[in-house]
């Protein structure tokens, strides 16, 4: 997701909320440790030049992914992540939950975009109501310079998360599993979590920012009350979910919080994303890294690192739900 559109809300001051103060106090040392590890294995990336256009490398040159979907989508900046199509489809549900600490809890994982979106540009460009205004149904997402797509990445991480969370006893649903031609649209993605009465919803993404911009960030819903959108009841719980995910992501992956948004906290608040605006249950987006930076791309295309990303995000969800 590239950020050429609306600006960001600055992170709230630490004294505004005791919980946030405690969370960030725990996050900052972890972030510094994560950055030390990150720099040791990959460097800061500050010596990189400008990003080039995505390559149309054949699928055989891409990192392996368990998801279906072939071809290279038209890359380009994306300012919104979820997507829905006009074709209704049931969300992919997990097998019956095992016993475990999360038994009885419902987690919805929202893998950003869809491998088939690039074949349906007319459908994904149609406008949908996100409460504050109207926006495109979805986008194709971004990709690495050698063609590994965001849609492939998000499905891979979602599958890994589903396995981890089911072992904890959670019932897990995916908003899409490459089981539909395109989408779903951003408004429908939000409704899937709402209808499931999910205890937590996490939308998985990877950014498409400039070279040298590195690290992860978690996008939190701002307080929106317009049209069909009213996030006020879920702002606090979503922030707690996001803080816990950010903390575990740093520790498990060794990646640092974003060096280009969030002021080093790994947390960003937005009010322009339909997937958050229309949610009535705790929900955040996780931008796992920047696909257009070669050093971040090396991590995102690594199966071993994607497993760590899945563990980091899942660990934050478990921590949030067990409180």
Phi, psi angles (nearest 5°) of residue 22: -65, -45
Structure-token pair, residue 295: 């050093």
CB 278 within 8 A of CB 58: no
Which secondary-structure segment (H or E) carries 308?
Answer: helix 303-322
- How many Å apart are CA 223 and CA 236, to the nearest integer? 10
Active site residues: 287
Site of tokens 């920047």:
290
Phi, psi angles (nearest 5°) of residue 206: -140, 145
Q: Which residues contact 305 (CB under 8 A, 6 or more apart)?
A: 253, 299
Q: Which residues contact 278 (CB under 8 A, 6 or more apart)?
A: 130, 131, 186, 187, 190, 191, 194, 228, 229
């Amino acid at each position: 997701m590239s950020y050429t559109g609306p600006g960001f809300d600055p992170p709230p001051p630490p004294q505004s909320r005791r919980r946030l103060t405690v969370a960030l106090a725990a996050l900052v040392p972890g972030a510094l440790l994560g950055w030390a590890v990150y720099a040791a294995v990959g460097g800061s990336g500050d010596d990189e030049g400008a990003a080039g256009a995505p390559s149309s490398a054949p699928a055989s040159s891409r990192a392996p992914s368990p998801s279906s979907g072939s071809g290279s989508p038209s890359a380009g900046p994306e300012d919104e992540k979820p997507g829905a199509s006009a074709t209704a489809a049931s969300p992919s549900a997990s097998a019956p939950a095992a016993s475990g600490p999360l038994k009885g809890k419902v987690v919805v994982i929202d893998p950003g975009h869809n491998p088939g979106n690039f074949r349906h540009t007319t459908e994904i460009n149609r406008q949908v109501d996100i409460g504050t205004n109207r926006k495109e149904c979805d986008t194709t997402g971004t990709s690495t310079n050698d063609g590994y797509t965001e849609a492939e990445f998000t499905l891979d991480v979602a599958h890994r998360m589903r396995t981890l969370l089911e072992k904890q006893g959670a019932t897990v649903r995916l908003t899409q599993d490459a089981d539909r031609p395109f989408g779903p649209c951003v408004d429908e993605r939000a409704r899937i979590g709402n209808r499931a009465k999910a205890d937590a919803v996490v939308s998985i993404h990877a950014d498409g920012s400039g070279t040298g911009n590195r690290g992860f960030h978690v996008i939190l819903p701002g307080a929106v009350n317009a049209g069909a959108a009213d996030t006020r009841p879920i702002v606090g719980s979503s922030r707690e979910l996001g803080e816990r995910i950010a903390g575990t992501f740093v520790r498990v992956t060794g990646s640092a919080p974003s060096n280009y948004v969030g002021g080093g906290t790994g947390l960003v608040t937005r009010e322009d994303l339909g997937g958050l605006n229309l949610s009535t249950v705790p929900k955040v987006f996780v931008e796992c890294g920047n696909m257009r930076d070669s050093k971040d791309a090396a991590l995102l295309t690594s199966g071993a690192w994607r497993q760590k990303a899945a563990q980091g995000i899942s660990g934050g969800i478990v921590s949030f739900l067990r409180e």
